[in-house]
Amino acid sequence: MAGILVKCLFFFVSLCLAINLAKCIPNTKKTYIIQMDKWAKPDVFIDHVKWYSSLVKSVLPSTPEGEKTGDEEERILYSYQTAFHGVAAQLSEEEVKKLQERNGVLAVFPEIKYQLHTTRSPLFLGLDREDSSKLWADRLSDHNVIVGVLDTGIWPESPSFNDTGMTSVPAHWKGVCETGRGFEKHHCSKKIVGARVFFRGYEAASGKINERGEFKSARDQDGHGTHTAGTVAGSVVRGANLLGYAYGTARGMAPGARVAAYKVCWVGGCFSSDILSAVDQAVADGVNVLSISLGGGVSSYNRDSLSIAAFGAMEKGVFVSCSAGNGGPDPISLTNVSPWITTVGASTMDRDFPATVKLGTGKIVTGASLYKGRMNLSTQKQFPLIYLGSNSSSLMPSSLCLDGTLDKASVAGKIVICDRGISPRVQKGQVVKEAGGVGMILTNTAANGEELVADCHLLPAVAVGEREGRAIKRYASGRNATATLRFLGTKLGIRPSPVVAAFSSRGPNFLTLEILKPDMVAPGVNILAGWTGALGPSSLPIDQRRTNFNILSGTSMSCPHVSGIAALLKARHPDWSPAAIKSALMTTAYVHDNTYKSLKDASSVTPSTPYDHGAGHINPMKAVDPGLIYDIGAQDYFEFLCTQELSPSQLMVFGKFSNRTCHHSLANPGDLNYPAISAVFPEKVSMLTLHRTVTNVGSPISNYHVVVSSFKGAVVKVEPAQLNFTSKNQKLSYKVTFKTISRQKAPEFGSLIWKDGTHKVRSPIAITWLASA
């Protein structure tokens, strides 16, 4: 009997494989975001939520009696009604196909997983100077700017969120303080004005959150969200430091601004349906700025749900700042490239945390570290040095110090050289420590170049650049190699600085070459800000140390710098649009370091380009009074989309909310009134004209003249060469004609600057000649 059953089972499986195994398995449900045409709602429904529920119900399978299964409410995770219109629901592929045929459905997006893009910065940016205090005085209390931070939540007890001296919560604020484990109503304040959690998409994809191991509330267990929120709007805290490093006064970019925490990231990642719901809710709550330090790759504009939601937020007057990503120095590694999003890369500051490696030969190599512990190595003694890799450029699991790859007998009592990559930097140190090593030298690979990122290691450890790392490894391959490590604390006045971080994602923007990205760079290396009380500064579970502040690096850290400065500008200029704020930040950015030389790229130690630093490094003191701005309205952005070869149905995902249609006012994408100028020559095209319009936000009577770079491959002519304004907010237009004289294989870069004796309104220029396919 058992043999017959086995044969039947074998026959059934074989049959399934023959006719398509997938059809024999019940359709698995996945999360999809369904964008709806809000104007298509039939009158029989009293509201949009009822209509959405009915549409989902209409595609669900029926019972044998012909009744619907009745689980449509469980299938719907979110309803979106402000920056985006539609629902997130769990559906099978067959149900999605049916739904796409229903009237009113504009688009369906599959769930996407996003990842986090993981002081001295106010002083470095000029925000702690006496003249700065006068410049920004009382502005925030007058206008009550609120910044929504989409991240891992917030640690409300952090001194960065002290609300002493703050006025009452703004009357326009509609947000709430959601409670949960470890987060009660009293944790919100005049500083933290709102806190919400978004987990339905995450749980649908990853299963229920383990509430014993993770706070299913706005409380931040990871630390990333507390750090970014503190960078945006942290209150002034004197004596801030990390285990003695970076001692001084910490403050956010906009210490008088309010914070609303939207927790969208959990242990297993951040999901697009949760992010979209947070953006939608934040706009409805009344935020003025959205700070989003995460990314999920690049999709076409009409397939990127975050891009579509950000478009809706922009329509409502909300400034959206996003991190560019940590995919550098590889080219074309940017995320969040839509022109209505401010895309922020990362740079260094003039502060460092030096540490040295002294080799047995007497040679001293300078690196960086944030180590502070009991296991200090004697500088009077040398320790055996070992590298478990080969002399070739190829990396090995043991050279990367991956978990379980180090032989205790080989490394006990020695300083171990570990290559950077694959696993977290601090985890490599823990692997060395568990194997009995007494210290670690963390060496950069070619991808990281000479950039030094300091970490709060659990054993004595020093990070060194790629060139010095190679030399140390060569030395270690000989007999009786020894070394010792020394930690030198905090050093200021580092030159050159700023430098574009090696990890900062790079352009060009392959979706649209005519939109130069990133937009700008801001401090993102070794940033001190508030930290969670649930985790040690190394972020390793074994780390029992607790600190109020931590030092982190990433474009996740640079993004909130720009978000905070945007809040300052919104407070000073409440009538400015998101595009006006972006323009002020871009046209006043600088492209030189503190040695008065061109900004450099940390990965190559050569001059960086606008594909690396965008318009340049932010300069808040100049941005408050830019002289001229390049303003862009929602319809202008829509006209840009009309140049992107999108079908009418694809354009509807952006235009349906406001019933937008194409007026075809832009001859090509480069005509968008963007503060950066990118001329793209198709094959056989030798002349190109782009148009711009500037608005005078300076003195009513202002006279500007233009200065433009020279190029090898093209002659550039600006008409008119002078702009004479007679009133404030007056708009004047000009055109830039590019004429090819010699097609170049590589892009060329330069700038166009309008000067009036007080202001220098600078736009970066990129010229690209496309080769035949």
Known catalytic residues are 151, 224, 556
**SS3 at position 738:** strand
Taking CA atoms, 390 is separated from 359, 400, 418, 737, in Å, by 20, 11, 12, 55
> Residue 503 contacts by C-beta under 8 Å, 6 or more apart in sequence?
326, 327, 328, 329, 346, 448, 451, 453, 553, 554, 555
Residue 611, SS3?
Answer: helix
The pair of structure tokens assigned to 679 is 């001329």
Amino acid found at 425:
R
Q: CA-CA distance, 256 to 734, in Å (whole number)?
A: 39
Residue 273 DSSP symbol: H
Sequence letter at residue 453: V
Q: Angle at which helices 93-100 and 48-58 pack, to 10 degrees?
A: 120
Neighbours of 224 (CB within 10 A): 26
Q: What is the 3-state secondary structure (H, E, C) of 417-462?
A: EEECECECHHHHHHHHHHCCCCEEEEECCCCCCCCCCCCCCCCCEE
Long-range contacts, 21-25 (Cβ 8 Å, 24+): none
Q: Could you tell me which of 755, 759, 334 has the C-alpha nearest to residue 584?
A: 759
C-alpha to C-alpha distance for 54 and 72, rounded to whole angstroms: 8
Q: CA end-to-end span of the chain, whole Å?
A: 66
Q: How far is CA 297 from CA 285, 288, 357, in A?
A: 28, 26, 38
Judged on CB neighbours under 10 Å (0-12, 13-18, 19+), 176 is middle
Backbone angles phi, psi at 415, to 5 degrees: -90, 125
Task: Taking the CA atoms of 570, 571, 576 and 581 in sequence, report the sign of the dihedral they define.
Answer: negative
Under 8 Å between Cβ of 35 and 308: yes
What is the β-pairing status of strands 722-725 and 85-91?
unpaired
Classify each residue of 694-711 as buried b or exposed e, where b means 16 or more C-beta atoms within 10 Å of its C-beta.
Answer: bbbbbeeebebebebeeb
